[in-house]
Structure 1
Amino acid sequence: MRRVWPLTVRGTGAVVLAVACFIVAGEAGLVELMYFGILLIAVVAASVASLYLGRRTETVTRSLVPDVASVGGESRVSVRVEVRTALPTAPGTWHDTLPKGLRGTAEGAFPALGSGLRAGERGGVRSIDLVYTVTGARRGVHPIGPLTVRSSDPFGLARRTVVFHHRTPVTVAPAVIDLAPLIDYAGATGGLLHTTTDQLGQGADNLVARPYAPGDSMRRIHWRATAHRDELMVRQEEQESTPEATVVLDRAALRWSPEALRAPGVDPGFEAGVSACVSAVARLVHDGYAVEVLDSEGNVLVERIDGGDMTEVDAMLVRFATVTAQRDDALPRLGRQFAGISTGPVVLVVGRLDPADAVALGSIAHHSTLPVLLSTSPVGDSLDIAADHGWHVAAIQADRDLALPWANAIGRGVHHVVG
């Protein structure tokens, strides 16, 4: 899309002056003024022609590094503009439109181009690379664009504004906070973070080894036997088990705000809850737990992520970029999902927590080796009631660092954040 009027204030003034010269020349019979007016018109026309005949943009493409932005994290945006030109073009400026979900300065100088034919490019096509940095401000999927390029002739008489409406969607994932590890809870969570060894004698040398089979863990390789037999051998007696954990995000809208239903990134409290959820998952997976992520209705938000698989954690962040609240409230019935089972750590992230909710959730703590309850809006003594039932509790806020409440929760049980 181009601006209708192609002249600057200076160019418009030149046209007005030329018209005045024509009028005065006709009235006073001054041929010199007529020539001067014609010269001004010719210069303005040449300026317009140099802008509108010398360049045609073919495509605009964008790429991000990393390709998924995160709230509070920086991404490098590269914009490639392919220009077809047979004539030299004037320099100008460019501006890329950023959505509310991204912050940054997306503007700069657009370079002048020489003749594409002279340079020997195929078809006169030239590529221009523009680079800028953005910071994620709001979770969700946000489009970058359109790109606006403004250029002017060397005399400043004419201008050309072209808007390229191609938009590039950018995924902004929730922020992941680095949380304290649960290594100290290896025994408390079932002793599953390391393997156990049944020895036949007093030393490790008495272990019976067998040939390696597909599917055996590399951690079970018996290196001494491997070196002796010249083939991979594994410890027969070593038993491995996979630690498991569950992270639950309560999505009931009545516990957050109505805005949490509309779109991601709108309700600060819900954003704090989502960030706490994905941060807990990242911490548990990093510590070696196989983690399942549910909502309070039991719906699987993310399929089971094996311990140490941080690639799947990154994929989870993309899914959580668009998670919103829902109308149903199943939190009081959450305990039924854990009835009759015993599991490892359970991290529950909720919005408003009433004393009645704390009582209803009390039974879950008895089925988990490490129950952690995080609330953005605890009411009254609800956290104390939950702690009395065995929960490790903490109140979290959108404008506070999650790391400290988490550390206090897993370390001492109860931690109140004073607003």
Structure 2
Amino acid sequence: MEELIYFGILLLAVLGASIGSLYFARRSDVVARALIPDVASVGRETLVNVRVGVRTAVPTAPGWWIDTIPKGLSGSAEGIFPALGSGLRGNERVVELSYPVRGEKRGVHYLGPLSVRSTDPFGLARRSNVFGQRTAVTVAPAMVDLPPLIDYAGAAGGTLHTTTHQLGQGADNLVARPYVPGDSMRRIHWRATAHRDALMVRQEEQESTPEASVVIDRSALRWGAEAMSAPGEDPGFEAAVVACVSVVARLVHDGYAVDVLDTDGTVLVERIDGGDMTEVDVMLAQFATLIARRDDTLARLPRLFGGVFTGPIILIVGRFDLADAEAVAPVAQHSSLPLVFAVAPVGDALERAAFSGWHIGVIDPGADLAVAWSSAVGRGTNHALV
């Protein structure tokens, strides 16, 4: 009988030691996550690196870790948590974990918390530690690579170009002036430079930077109610956002200085200079949280371009009817390449817009945007009614 009592006490001691090892052996103070790249994108993978700071007084057995992935992301975030040696001095040990995630829905989502499931060395007890630190992940809209405006480089304001105004019949009659820092090397007048033994540039040669405007109509009346609630909820609005950022990226790459506007003139992104793809990345991060708004201001669009003639104007709308086509008709006369994309055109509205001078295209959430872009840009326009 005494032997059984001693054996029972021993079992209780072992069980207590097992439980105690789980509660006192491992403690985490810091969980930090870093993403590569910093901003995720819909449809692309991002690597998540997790650093876990662990303090342990006694050796610990391997465990199993799981990081919580929100609905806006997908992936598998789990694996073996390594065993740790004794740290009697209480020094922090850093455990590094990593896993890929894929962007599924535009917006700001939160990774975490991280949980680690531990088992004592005897396999008698199990404990899960949940570390509450969470990390915000910005998921930018997808960006489609669109074909360049090759056929419209001159007529539409094209890539950076130079125009020459000659005073006589030949280049010899061009007026030259001394070179100043900032002048393009293409403007150097080599004959005048050789004659004066100093760098000279052509005065009559003027460099111009082509401009373009991309306008997205965010009026909730033209989208589903979900477009106002949160990013990524309305498929039509998401297709419009993808079209917007893709068109901006294409124009910037082609050398245009691009303004990104709402139909009421609100600047959605500061002007992006031609060739500045870094600012395009900044725009993508800003568009991660773009949603629809209540006011309907499409009819005000002609006021934004009245009295000027500019390069391409790309208008992206949701629902688009005949009244809308009539309202935006004057804008086409102020652009070298007016183009309207509609997600949900009504009746003959796009055909009426084409008759006013617009190039027209339909954005289908399930179709290839590059094909729609090529078709719209390459489609001729009709003359407006007088």
TM-score (norm 1): 0.84
Indicate whether 1:139 and 2:106 are aligned: yes
Q: What is the Cα deviation at residue 184 of structure 1?
A: 1.8
Please give the alpha-carbon distance, in whole angstroms, between the structure 2 residues aligned to 1:217 and 1:103: 49
TM-score (norm 2): 0.91
Please give the alpha-carbon distance, in whole angstroms, between the structure 1 residues aligned to 2:30 and 2:162: 57
Q: What is the Cα deviation at residue 213 of structure 1?
A: 2.5
- Report if the CA contact (8 A) 2:65-2:114 is conserved: yes
SS of the counterpart of 1:138? Answer: coil
Partner residue in 2 for 1:394: 361
Alignment of 1:56-75 (within 5 A): 56-75=27-46
Please give the alpha-carbon distance, in whole angstroms, between the structure 1 residues aligned to 2:196 and 2:59: 73
Distance 1:228 1:124, change over 3 A: farther
Please give the alpha-carbon distance, in whole angstroms, between the structure 2 residues aligned to 1:57 and 1:77: 19
C-alpha offsets along residues 337-368 of structure 1, whole Å, 9 cap, x if unaligned? 22221111000000011122112211111111
Please give the alpha-carbon distance, in whole angstroms, between the structure 1 residues aligned to 2:52 and 2:196: 61
Partner residue in 1 for 2:59: 88
Please give the alpha-carbon distance, in whole angstroms, between the structure 1 residues aligned to 2:280 and 2:229: 26
Please give the alpha-carbon distance, in whole angstroms, between the structure 2 residues aligned to 1:210 and 1:86: 79
Alignment of 1:240-255 (within 5 A): 240-255=207-222
Indicate whether 1:302 and 2:273 are aligned: no
Partner residue in 2 for 1:112: 83
Which of 246, 268, 278 is equivalent to 2:245?
278
Indicate whether 1:348 and 2:348 are aligned: no
C-alpha offsets along residues 233-290 of structure 1, whole Å, 9 cap, x if unaligned? 6554432001000000000001001111111111111011011111111110110000
Partner residue in 1 for 2:227: 260
Residue identity matched to 2:313 = V
Alignment of 1:114-133 (within 5 A): 114-117=85-88, 123-133=90-100
Q: What is the Cα deviation at residue 217 of structure 1?
A: 3.8
- Report if the CA contact (8 A) 1:291-1:305 is conserved: yes
Distance 1:218 1:293, change over 3 A: farther
The sequence identity of aligned pairs, in percent, is: 69
Partner residue in 2 for 1:186: 153
Partner residue in 2 for 1:293: 260
- Report if the CA contact (8 A) 1:276-1:402 is conserved: yes
- Report if the CA contact (8 A) 2:310-2:334 is conserved: yes
Partner residue in 1 for 2:50: 79
- Worse-matched range after superposition: 152-161 or 191-200: 191-200
C-alpha offsets along residues 157-188 of structure 1, whole Å, 9 cap, x if unaligned? 11121111111111111111101111321221
Alignment of 1:318-357 (within 5 A): 318-357=285-324
SS of the counterpart of 1:105? Answer: coil
State the structure with more CA Rg: 1
Distance 1:34 1:204, change over 3 A: farther
Residue identity matched to 1:331 = L
Q: What is the Cα deviation at residue 39 of structure 1?
A: 2.1
Indicate whether 1:369 and 2:336 are aligned: yes
Which of 4, 10, 14 is equivalent to 1:43?
14
Please give the alpha-carbon distance, in whole angstroms, between the structure 1 residues aligned to 2:345 and 2:355: 15
Distance 1:212 1:159, change over 3 A: farther
- Worse-matched range after superposition: 204-213 or 325-334: 204-213
Q: What is the Cα deviation at residue 66 of structure 1?
A: 0.6
Please give the alpha-carbon distance, in whole angstroms, between the structure 2 residues aligned to 1:142 and 1:129: 22
Please give the alpha-carbon distance, in whole angstroms, between the structure 2 residues aligned to 1:205 and 1:87: 88
Q: What is the Cα deviation at residue 203 of structure 1?
A: 8.5
Residue identity matched to 2:93 = R
Q: How many residues align?
A: 381
Q: What is the Cα deviation at residue 196 of structure 1?
A: 2.6
Distance 1:224 1:112, change over 3 A: farther
C-alpha offsets along residues 281-307 of structure 1, whole Å, 9 cap, x if unaligned? 111011000000110111111111111
Please give the alpha-carbon distance, in whole angstroms, between the structure 2 residues aligned to 1:144 and 1:234: 58
C-alpha offsets along residues 87-108 of structure 1, whole Å, 9 cap, x if unaligned? 2111111111111111111111
Please give the alpha-carbon distance, in whole angstroms, between the structure 2 residues aligned to 1:166 and 1:413: 56
SS of the counterpart of 1:341? Answer: coil
- Worse-matched range after superposition: 318-327 or 191-200: 191-200
Please give the alpha-carbon distance, in whole angstroms, between the structure 2 residues aligned to 1:132 and 1:167: 16
- Report if the CA contact (8 A) 1:93-1:107 is conserved: yes
- Worse-matched range after superposition: 378-387 or 199-208: 199-208
- Worse-matched range after superposition: 38-47 or 234-243: 234-243
- Report if the CA contact (8 A) 2:143-2:242 is conserved: yes
- Worse-matched range after superposition: 287-296 or 99-108: 99-108
Q: What is the Cα deviation at residue 73 of structure 1?
A: 1.5
Q: What is the Cα deviation at residue 126 of structure 1?
A: 0.8
- Report if the CA contact (8 A) 1:393-1:413 is conserved: no
Which of 172, 192, 195 is equivalent to 2:162?
195
Gaps of 5+ in 2: 382-386
Residue identity matched to 1:135 = R
Distance 1:109 1:207, change over 3 A: farther
Gaps of 5+ in 1: 1-29, 415-419
- Report if the CA contact (8 A) 1:93-1:108 is conserved: yes
SS of the counterpart of 2:14? Answer: helix
